[in-house]
Amino acid sequence: MATEEKTFVGAAEVMDVEIPIQEMFLNMGPSHPSMHGVVRTMVRIVGERVVWADIEIGYLHRAFEKQCEAQFWNTAIIYTDRLNYVSPIINNVGYCMAVEKLLGITVPERGEYFRTLVSEVSRVADHLTNVGAAVMELGAFTAFLYTMKAREWCYEIIEAACGARITTNFTRVGGVMADVPAGFEELVRDRVKQLRGVVDEFDKLMTRNRIFIDRTRGISPVTPEKAVAYGFTGPLLRAAGIPYDIRRTHPYSIYDQLDFVVPTGTTGDVLDRYLVRMEEMRQSLSMILQCLKQMPPGPVNVMDKLITRPLKTNVYGNIEGLMNQFKLVMDGHGIKPDPGEAWASVEGGNGELGYYLVSDGGDGPYKCRCRAPSFPLVQAMKEMIVGHMVADVIPVFGSINYIAGEVER
Amino acid sequence: MQELPEYLSVLKSRFGDRIEEIHAQHDDATAVVKRDAIVEVCAWLRDDEKTLFDLFLDLTAVDYIGRKPRFEVVIHLVSIPFRHRLRLKVRLDEDDPVMPTIIPVYPASNWFERECWDLYGIKFDGHPDLRRMFLQETFVGHPLRKDYPIAKRQPLIELRKSEVRRNDESVEPRPA
Amino acid sequence: MGIDKGEIPGVALTTKLESLLGWGRKYSLFLYPFVTACCGMEYMSVACAHYDIDRFGAGLPRFSPRQSDLLLICGTVSHKIGPVLYRVWEQMADPKWVVAFGACASCGGPYNNYATMQGADVCIPVDVYIPGCPPRPEMVLDGLIKLQAKIQNRQIPG
């Protein structure tokens, strides 16, 4: 062995020595466990502090708009499922509201109640997935299992309403796909009770957890002015202290008849975003029960043969029903709104989910634009992580609820 | 034609013939703005105490192929204090699809403008970082233009087998 | 040894090396979830307590391709992610298996346009295709069992 003399420096001496720190480039993704979906985050770090960041998205660009332009008004609904695949029903509702605005029709009240009820279930599923995944990335795997267990109950309700768990295709232009199934009310009451239990359990497990608070409090606080300038909507804007919730400020559907509170935070940090989401889940669960209670009898679809498809018993049972079905599904027939454009927005899981549709008088959308709520959030993430530790990238990213299908469409 | 909301008339009287058209079809207040006036109009809308359109929602484009001017850039704004909504439109010619950026007024429009450049090929004058948003840098063309075939793919790696589906003719774009 | 003389002690089992290896491999799958899209939600459901993929010996996700031997492609593969997917697959050590989870990864699913790849198999070889958009958890488990049968019957090359 080479006999090279080595001098070992004691700890006290190290403290005085200035350690030269080099700037380092760190790449996370595109395939990274803490990145929900595929997104590439590039950061420059000095020591552990992020000094520069850039985000590259587009790995799940599936050409939603181009695909919808080749579809009919009703068949484009399936692509809206796959935008925000955590709360697909809200997407369905938003798209159908825009088409209904173009057509100038209103959905019967029972249909609106049914849509709202299932939307709120979907919102609970969205928030459960978000808070569960966010705390899992901070190391709390047990809490994630709790929320996934609860999410299955949400899926049970959604499955009873439309037959699918995730990609629901629940609404139709002018209503919903089917009336409320038998035994739905008992199922919902039962599951809401269980969901409440899980939310409380999760609350006990996480909200006062020392590690969780240390990792999230004061991380990437956003002032109200900045939040508005960045184009935030939804839980992040409310966490910054602005009570902007479309269900309250621009009430659509039957939200003006429901009693709910719009929770707001104070500092807009990661902890506030979590707390806002937790409270919203409770509000949603209470709204579900209110919908059940207030739901009137009657039809769920518009009674217009040019818009609503006939019942399957009529399609297979008599010639009028068969002709009606044909006229609605054949190329060049079907629903034809007048030329024009419409914007409709709903409160999605991450904020204002808007649809901008242009009709050229044809049987499908000429232009179908989705305003994804998490797109501006991901845009602002650059500013939100600069100046923080590299380990804080994960909670910030978890709190903005990046849904690749929606951001990249 | 629905009744025009007050802020739309105020906007029209403030800017005169630099607002080409106002209407409120389907209750959506809409103003068509001349290209050179868009930044000024946005700044006024954001700051004037009668309008206060502080939240930028959306920026996108529509390709009306065969019409002159061909492109329309559509901006959606919302006012949190007044709960108003407004749609602004800028019409752009096919030969010169360039628009001034509105980032100085609404910083949130940064990525929306990049997306618009990526998918429609509309340039934003003064944008600090006008790269493609979703597609790879080597992508040729702007896919959401109506003359881009829907199934024209541009693979990045050598593929093991053909990607053509049996019904690929049927996904050609419908005639406009 | 006493086997060729027919003297087998009571505690031993006879088998072929191939099927022993296959048996060991099929119940110790370390999977790499390449989650791109909606199917990731169903992957979460399958992996968690309700459906519990751990019962079938594939409960441990490894987030490094070098440590895993089952690539689970959950969701749409776009042309932009294609090189990444290929590289992840290349980095996995043999023996390796690939499962196309859902319609998009199997054949492109509802997406047939300029951005999406028509199935993961135009880029890398796929062993088991699980249809459905997204597949129900039961179908995923069924696909896993099919894959296990395939692993069991695999010949050792050479």
Distances (CA, A) of A181 to A177, A187, A232: 11, 10, 37
Q: Which residue of B has its CA nearest to A351?
A: B57
Percent share of chain C, pLDDT over 90: 4
H-helix or E-strand containing A137?
helix A109-137
Under 8 Å between Cβ of B127 and C82: no
| C35: closest CA of chain B, how far (Å) | 18
Task: Tell whether C108 lies on the interface with A, counting CB pairs under 8 A.
Answer: no
DSSP string, A264-287: --SS-SHHHHHHHHHHHHHHHHHH
Strands C30-35 and C70-74: parallel
Task: Tell me the HSE value of B140 on the side-chain side, using a 13 A CA sphere.
Answer: 5
| C105: closest CA of chain B, how far (Å) | 13
Q: What is the pLDDT of residues A50-93, one digit of tens each?
A: 889 988 888 888 888 888 888 888 888 999 988 888 889 999 99
pLDDT of res. A169: 87
| A44 lies in the same domain as A105 | no
| A36 lies in the same domain as A93 | no
Mean pLDDT for A362-367 is 88
How many domains are there within chain C?
1
Nearest CB partner across the interface for C86, out of B136, B150, B157 = B157
Q: What is the pLDDT of residues C92-116, one digit of tens each?
A: 888 888 999 988 888 888 888 888 8
| A267 lies in the same domain as A397 | yes
User: Would residue C16 count as lying in a domain?
Assistant: no
DSSP 8-state code for residue C154: P
Mean pLDDT for A228-250 is 89
* Number of A–C residue contacts, CB under 8 Å: 94
Q: What is the pLDDT of residues A303-340, one digit of tens each?
A: 888 888 888 888 899 998 898 888 888 877 888 888 98
How many domains are there within chain A?
2
Mean pLDDT of chain A: 87
Q: What is the pLDDT of residues A383-402, one digit of tens each?
A: 888 888 888 888 888 888 88
Q: What is the pLDDT of residues A45-60, one digit of tens each?
A: 888 888 899 888 888 8
Under 8 Å between Cβ of A204 and A136: no
User: Would residue A304 count as lying in a domain?
Assistant: yes
Nearest to A42 by CA among A52, A32, A33, C71: A52
Which A-chain residues 157-176 have CB contacts (< 8 A) with chain B? none
| A60: closest CA of chain C, how far (Å) | 6
pLDDT of res. A29: 74
User: Would residue A195 count as lying in a domain?
Assistant: yes
Task: Tell whether B147 lies on the interface with C, counting CB pairs under 8 A.
Answer: no
| A296 lies in the same domain as A196 | yes
pLDDT of res. C158: 45
Percent share of chain A, pLDDT over 90: 22
Q: Is A188 helix (H, G, I), strand (E, B) or coil?
A: helix
- Residue A288's pLDDT band, with cuts at 50, 70 and 90, is very high
CATH at residue A92: 1.10.645.10
User: Would residue A247 count as lying in a domain?
Assistant: yes
| Residue B113 clears pLDDT 80, i.e. is over it | yes
Task: Tell whether A409 lies on the interface with C, counting CB pairs under 8 A.
Answer: no
Query: Chain A interface, mutation test: which of C38, C42, C101, C114, most A Cβ atoms within 10 Å?
Result: C38
Cβ-Cβ contacts under 8 Å, B161 against chain C: 121-122
User: Would residue C9 count as lying in a domain?
Assistant: no
Q: What is the pLDDT of residues B73-110, one digit of tens each?
A: 999 999 988 888 899 999 999 888 999 999 999 999 99
**Phi, psi torsion values for A380, nearest 5 degrees:** -80, -10
Under 8 Å between Cβ of A386 and A52: yes
| Residue A187 clears pLDDT 70, i.e. is over it | yes
pLDDT of res. A49: 86
Cβ-Cβ contacts under 8 Å, C111 against chain B: none
Question: How many residues are given for chain A?
Answer: 409
| B80: closest CA of chain A, how far (Å) | 7
Nearest to A400 by CA among A234, A224, A206, A229: A234
Report the distance separating Cα C41 and Cα A152, nearest Å: 11
Least confident of A174-183, A397-406, C5-14, C37-46: C5-14
| Residue B171 clears pLDDT 50, i.e. is over it | no
Q: What is the pLDDT of residues B24-51, one digit of tens each?
A: 888 888 999 998 889 999 999 888 888 8
Task: Give the type of residue at C89.
Answer: W
**Residue A29 backbone class (left: φ over 0; alpha: ψ -120 to 50; beta: rest):** left
Longest dimension (CA), chain A: 99
Q: Which CATH number fits domain B6-142: 3.30.420.40, 3.30.460.80, 3.40.47.10, 3.30.420.140?
A: 3.30.460.80
| B24: closest CA of chain A, how far (Å) | 10
Contacts for A215 with CB less than 8 Å, ≥ 6 apart:
A138, A270, A391, A392, A395
Under 8 Å between Cβ of B20 and B34: yes
| Residue B174 clears pLDDT 50, i.e. is over it | no
| Residue C61 clears pLDDT 90, i.e. is over it | no
Q: Which residue of B has its CA nearest to A230?
A: B108
Mean pLDDT of chain C: 84
Mean pLDDT for B51-71 is 89
CATH at residue C61: 3.40.50.12280
Domain of residue A34 covers 19-56
| Residue B170 clears pLDDT 70, i.e. is over it | no
pLDDT of res. A289: 92
Q: What is the pLDDT of residues A141-165, one digit of tens each?
A: 888 888 988 999 999 999 998 888 8
**B31-56 burial, b for 16+ CB within 10 Å, e for fewer?**
bebebebbbebbebbbeeeebbbbbb
Task: Tell whether A63 lies on the interface with C, counting CB pairs under 8 A.
Answer: yes
Least confident of A151-155, B157-161, C55-59: B157-161
Task: Give the type of residue at A363.
Answer: D
Q: Which residue of C has its CA nearest to B141?
A: C114
Percent share of chain B, pLDDT over 90: 23
| A83 lies in the same domain as A35 | no
Q: Is B176 exposed, middle or buried (0-12, 13-18, 19+ CB in 10 A)?
A: middle
Report the distance separating Cα A104 and Cα C21, nearest Å: 66
**A305-332 burial, b for 16+ CB within 10 Å, e for fewer?**
eebbbbeeeebeeeeebeebbeebeeee
**Phi, psi torsion values for A345, nearest 5 degrees:** -130, 145
Domain of residue C82 covers 28-152
User: Would residue A2 count as lying in a domain?
Assistant: no
User: Would residue C88 count as lying in a domain?
Assistant: yes
Identify the sign of the CA torsion A314, A319, A323, A324: negative
Report the distance separating Cα B62 and Cα A32, nearest Å: 35
pLDDT of res. A2: 46
Report the distance separating Cα B99 and Cα B72, nearest Å: 11
Nearest to A308 by CA among A130, A171, A199, A142: A171
| Residue A115, both tokens | 């849509």
| Residue A116 clears pLDDT 50, i.e. is over it | yes
Which ipTM did the prediction report?
0.89
Contact between A165 and C111 using a beta-carbon 8 Å cutoff: no
| Residue A35 clears pLDDT 80, i.e. is over it | no
Nearest CB partner across the interface for B135, out of C80, C82, C123 = C80
pLDDT of res. A200: 92
Determine the distance from the C-alpha atom of residue B151 to the mean position of all C-alpha atoms in its chain, rounded to a whole number.
Answer: 24
| Residue A95 clears pLDDT 60, i.e. is over it | yes
pLDDT of res. A409: 82
**Phi, psi torsion values for C34, nearest 5 degrees:** -90, 80
Contact between C86 and B161 using a beta-carbon 8 Å cutoff: no
Report the distance separating Cα A124 and Cα A279, nearest Å: 10
Q: How many helices (H) and strands (E) does chain B have?
A: 3, 7
Q: Which residue of B has its CA nearest to A61?
A: B134
User: Would residue A11 count as lying in a domain?
Assistant: no
